[in-house]
Structure 1
Amino acid sequence: MSHRNLTLIPLAAAVVLATVTACGTDDTAASSSTSSPATSAAAPAGLSCGGAGIDEKAQIKYRTEALIKAPLSTIWKLQTDVENWPAWQQPVESNKRLDQGQLRDGSQFQWRTPVPASATTPATTLVITSTVHQIQPESCIRWSGPAVGDGLRIDNGVHVWNFTQQGDSVLVRTEENWSGSQVEADVATSTAFLGAGLEAWLKDLKAAAEAHS
């Protein structure tokens, strides 16, 4: 990954380390917007929550999934108790709710993650303000928002999560897209960063949920 592209930092906080590369586990399958036309034609329909999904026309998008052997209630609590993300996602420096009560349609939260210096930008902190648009308990959630830092910006990211019980495990699927002139200047690199972040997020969620179990 080129040093000149290290400014392309994703909403998925786990990719803030410049050395992270996209990878999967034996029970993780992934697809990205860089697939061939034939592969794209055979790809499954996009994920949704309450009938809404990501921006399918976006140049930068990524989808992946993992099977987690833990109770659905445990996985859901870890994912939606956003203020406690720092306890199981090391790159999340802080996360605060901008409203109170259970996470619901219209809820907002603002999280911060440090970004190391690159060849072209100084070390800074990325501030991500997320708004929940749809949420169905223990089933799905969809949020979006910008990520802004000193010299770093993603104008908007739309993120969807689906949770499906499969025997004694839960299939967790996630899909996200980005938009903005900075990230769209290098679609391939931005997609790689997005993918790395989502893969790492799922890996951390799986580890935390299975440890709780």
Structure 2
Amino acid sequence: MSGIANTRIRAALFTIPLVATGVLGTAAAPAGATTSPPTRPLTCRGEGVNPHALVRYRTETVIHAPLRTVWKLQTDVERWPAWQAAVTTMKRLDHGPFRKGSAFRWTTPVPPHPTTPATSLKITSTVEQLKRHSCIRWTGPAVGEGLRIDGVHVWNFTRVKGGVRVSTEETHTGAEVEADVPTATKLLRQGLEAWLRDLQTAAEAPTPDRPH
């Protein structure tokens, strides 16, 4: 970011969407979301996810809102807790515009898992590549009791008729997630789809200048 075990494996890490917006469970995909296997990985300024990672997922949806609105929500990371219930704390580690080199530290709860106890993941994300209103790629570790995940998260934003296509892809590596790839992948899927759903809800919410 845009973990293992909560309804938003938030990786984001960067997303780690660690199933973080709830608990292990099935998160509904955003309206219009598609998860067809892509022919090529997403990239930002030529860089993509970890090509060797065993845990990976990609999805996208069309959000019916201006690109500037979607971009602002995603890059104003200090306000994530206002629209993402899974983000319990957030702190920017730098100042000024969100840019390459920006870093932020945030936490998300993780319920118990067969191989790890309930914990809170502390995620440190660093923006490696960014193109305004087009793409973001961040990386970083998510660390909790008995759990460490290294994630790479790529976001693409493309203007389409009626709104913005938001595409996201993330990979996770680490001994705990690699011990059960199917479960880790399922959790990552739930996390990314939940993230898109929350982003869509926030971006499409009526405002004084954009009535419902």
TM-score between the two structures when normalised by the length of structure 2? 0.86
Q: Give distance in 1, aligned partners of 2:51 and 2:110.
A: 28
Match of 1:180 in 2: 174
Q: 2:155 aligns with which of 161, 164, 173?
A: 161
TM superposition shift of 1:126: 0.7
CA contact (8 A) 1:9 1:152 kept: no
Paired-residue identity, %? 54
Match of 2:23 in 1: 18
Superposition RMSD on alpha carbons, in Å?
2.1
Q: Give distance in 2, aligned partners of 1:10 and 1:98.
A: 19
Instruction: Determine if the alignment matches structure 1 residue 208 to structure 2 residue 211.
Output: no
For 2:24, the aligned partner's letter is: T
String of CA shifts for 1:105-160, please: whole Å, max 9, x gaps. 11110001122345654432110000000011110000000000112211x10000
Partner secondary structure for residue 57 of structure 2:
strand
CA contact (8 A) 1:161 1:175 kept: yes
Q: How does 1:50-199 map to 2 (within 5 A)?
A: 50-118=45-113, 121-154=116-149, 156-199=150-193
Q: Which protein has the bigger helix share?
A: 1
CA contact (8 A) 2:30 2:200 kept: no
CA contact (8 A) 2:18 2:187 kept: no
TM superposition shift of 1:199: 0.2
Partner secondary structure for residue 197 of structure 1:
helix
String of CA shifts for 1:59-86, please: whole Å, max 9, x gaps. 1110000000000000000000001000
Aligned length: 198
Structure 1 residues 22 and 188, CA gap change in structure 2 (3 angstroms): farther
Task: Flag structure 2 segments of 5+ consecutive residues without an equivalent.
Answer: none
Task: Flag structure 1 segments of 5+ consecutive residues without an equivalent.
Answer: 32-39
